[in-house]
């Protein structure tokens, strides 16, 4: 994989390529942006381009064929290090940062530049961040540190100020769909649906790339509609993990958004659940737009609480369900 295979970040990749073209590499970079948009993938390709033996001969990109590119692709390059939390740990430890510090000052063994990648840098604990700051304050020739994060507010401001910030942005549903089809071989309808789920920013869709997406999303919709008909039953995903709950809520969010689109436009062109058009029309006929809007707000509010706080998931879902049932009664 190379820069030309990174979709949806043309301006960002151009910045990195200009850096290479002008040979103005910074000692540290912070790739920041939403989850799941390709920050680590881009960072690895940047490391490949920096050290590619053929870089610059035909284009400002890695060739994917030289010995350096092959080693990075197979995670066997001695000078390219990816630092992640150890198994069973929630964050990168100060010991791991100290180990990195002992290597940063050493000359590269075979690369042009040693590269240390720290994905999800928000997982670096406070002690380790302080140690990392010292390394950034005293940059070593021949080494580059690349951090990626979707939560820059979790990093020390002094760390951010010592990095060149490279910004990544949300991908459009069309680009997401293309990536899913190319990289995961997902059929068009499933890729299109997952690309819209990705736009909520709440779900890592790569974890759902190997399931029957259309059947699964319809199962969730049908189960929720069944709950609304018989609310004495327990909401079916009350005991699920937070990731699974957010997956279910993202599906329901698009279901009600589609209902609102049909209600307001009377056109199916913009809806996501095109395979359920008749069901959507039937459901939408029982609501007015204001009630659908309130339901969307309830689902969005519960999703944000679950994704961003340590709220009791069962309580948040119970309150959300009560709100939706109330809107359904008044519709």
Environment class of 301 (CB within 10 Å of its CB; exposed 0-12, middle 13-18, buried 19+)? middle
Q: How far apart, in Å, are the Cα atoms of 271 and each of 20, 192, 265, 278, 331? A: 42, 11, 10, 12, 22
Q: Whole-angstrom Cα distance, residue 9 to residue 117?
A: 20
pLDDT in tens, 118-169: 999 998 988 999 999 999 998 888 999 999 998 999 999 999 999 999 999 8
pLDDT at res. 1 = 65
| Tokens, residue 116 | 């240390």
DSSP notation for 184-232: H---HHHHHHHHHHHTTSS--GGGGTTS-HHHHHHHHHHHHHHHHH-TT
Q: Whole-angstrom Cα distance, residue 128 to residue 43?
A: 21
**Count of beta carbons in the 10 Å neighbourhood of residue 238:** 12
pLDDT at res. 110 = 92
Q: Whole-angstrom Cα distance, residue 144 to residue 27?
A: 5
Cβ burial 142-174 (10 Å sphere, 16+ → b, else e)? bbbbbbbbbebeebeeebbebbeebebebbebe
pLDDT at res. 189 = 80
93, 124 contact by CB (below 8 A): no
In order of start, what are the domains of the chain with their CATH numbers? Answer: 3-167 (3.40.50.300), 173-330 (no CATH)
pLDDT at res. 48 = 93
Q: Which residues of the chain have pLDDT under 70?
A: 1, 57-58, 176-177, 179-181, 183-184, 200-202, 205-206, 209, 330-331
50, 80 contact by CB (below 8 A): no
Q: Whole-angstrom Cα distance, residue 194 to residue 210?
A: 12
pLDDT at res. 302 = 93
Angle between helix axes 242-265 and 313-330 (nearest 10 degrees) is 20
Length of the chain in residues, anyone?
Answer: 331
**Count of beta carbons in the 10 Å neighbourhood of residue 22:** 9
- List the one residue out of 191, 193, 201, 150 whose CA is nearest residue 171: 201
pLDDT in tens, 73-123: 899 999 999 999 888 787 888 999 999 999 998 999 999 999 999 999 998
pLDDT at res. 100 = 93
């Amino acid at each position: 994989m190379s820069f030309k295979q990174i979709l949806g970040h043309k301006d960002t990749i151009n910045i990195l390529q200009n850096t290479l073209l002008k040979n103005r590499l910074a000692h540290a970079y912070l790739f920041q942006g939403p989850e799941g948009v390709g920050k680590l993938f881009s960072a690895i390709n940047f490391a490949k381009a920096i050290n590619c033996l053929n870089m610059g001969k035909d284009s400002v990109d890695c060739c994917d064929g030289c010995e350096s590119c092959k080693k990075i692709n197979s995670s066997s390059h001695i000078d390219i290090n990816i630092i992640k939390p150890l198994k069973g740990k929630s964050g990168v430890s100060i010991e791991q940062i100290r180990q990195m510090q002992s290597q940063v000052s050493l000359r590269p063994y075979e690369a042009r530049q040693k590269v240390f990648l720290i994905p999800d840098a928000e997982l670096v604990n406070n002690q380790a961040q302080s140690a990392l700051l010292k390394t950034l304050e005293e940059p070593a020739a021949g080494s580059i540190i690349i951090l990626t994060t979707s939560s820059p507010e979790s990093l020390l401001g002094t760390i951010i100020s010592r990095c060149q910030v490279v910004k990544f942005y949300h991908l459009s549903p069309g680009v997401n769909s293309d990536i899913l089809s190319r990289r995961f071989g997902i059929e068009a309808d499933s890729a299109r649906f997952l690309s819209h789920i990705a736009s909520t920013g709440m779900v890592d869709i790569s974890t759902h790339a190997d399931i029957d997406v259309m059947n699964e999303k319809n199962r969730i919709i049908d189960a929720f509609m069944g709950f609304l008909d018989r609310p004495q039953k327990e909401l079916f995903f009350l005991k699920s993990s937070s990731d699974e709950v957010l997956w279910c809520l993202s599906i329901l969010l698009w279901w009600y958004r589609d209902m609102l689109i049909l209600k307001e436009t009377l056109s199916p062109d913009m809806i996501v659940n095109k395979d359920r058009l008749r069901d959507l029309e039937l459901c939408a006929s029982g609501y007015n737009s204001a009630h659908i809007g309130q339901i969307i707000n309830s689902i969005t509010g519960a999703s944000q609480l679950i994704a961003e706080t340590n709220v009791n998931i069962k309580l948040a879902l119970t309150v959300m369900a009560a709100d939706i049932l109330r809107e359904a009664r008044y519709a």
